[in-house]
Amino acid sequence: MRRQRFDIVTLVWEIFELLEQQAAQRGTALQLFPPVLPEAGIQVVADRNRIRQVLVNLIDNAIKYGRDHGRVVVALVESGRSVRISVRDDGAGIAPEHQGRIFERFYRIDKSRSRESGGSGLGLAISKHIVEAHKSTIRVKSTVGEGTTLEFKLSKPKSGRVETKG
Ligand SMILES: Nc1ncnc2c1ncn2[C@@H]1O[C@H](COP(=O)(O)OP(=O)(O)OP(=O)(O)O)[C@@H](O)[C@H]1O
Ligand SMILES: [Mg+2]
């Protein structure tokens, strides 16, 4: 874990660029919410590479398991000392009996369909591990036939920076 201060907005754009081709193949729109974000970005304190790995997996999942010509929305919402980061798709959703198990290693709901879309079933197990190493929790909310949201929080930098006066 290498905790550092960085802008989560820039990171999300970077990942959108990385997954642009894959999204285009399914006709999926990648969107950021709110559409107009603070010019200075949104600062968080976390291990940037590891959080990148989490977001790549969540957005990759949202594209793979979302619907064709659907959309994937990454929302960044500041509340108090933290920023809530969520990734939402409008795919088939995850039935309640599977929701608790998708974080297990190698757990894949529809083996044949999942095999088609590649992957090993490790992404969410690794993501959970990384988010928990940040003393946070990853949660799933899903409605069959409507879609799925995965979300977690990261800390904002402490205010009270030393400021030099003119
Ligand atoms: N957004 C989603 N909508 C519907 N099902 C999902 C979604 N995200 C994950 N799942 C289900 O949870 C399983 C586990 O996800 P996970 O990211 O761990 O593995 P994977 O994507 O199949 O493989 P890998 O991430 O290792 O490439 C998936 O195989 C899929 O069945
Ligand atoms: Mg995955």
Residues 6+ apart with CB under 8 A from 154: 8, 44, 45, 46, 51, 82, 83, 85, 134, 136
Q: Is the CB of 56 under 6 A from ligand 1?
A: no
What does the domain layout of the chain look like in residue ranges? 4-155
Answer yes or no: is pLDDT of 164 > 60: no
Residue type, 40: A
30 alpha carbon to ligand 1 midpoint, in Å?
A: 18
pLDDT at residue 35, rounded to an integer = 85
Query: Which numbered ligand comes closest to the C-alpha of 103?
Result: 1
Architecture of domain 4-155: 2-Layer Sandwich (3.30)
Q: Which protein residue has the closest C-alpha to ligand 1 atom 25?
A: 123
Can you tell me the mean pLDDT for 48-64?
98
pLDDT at residue 162, rounded to an integer = 53
Model confidence at 20, in pLDDT bands (50, 70, 90)?
very high
pLDDT in tens, 69-118: 999 999 999 999 999 999 999 999 999 999 999 999 999 987 656 556 66
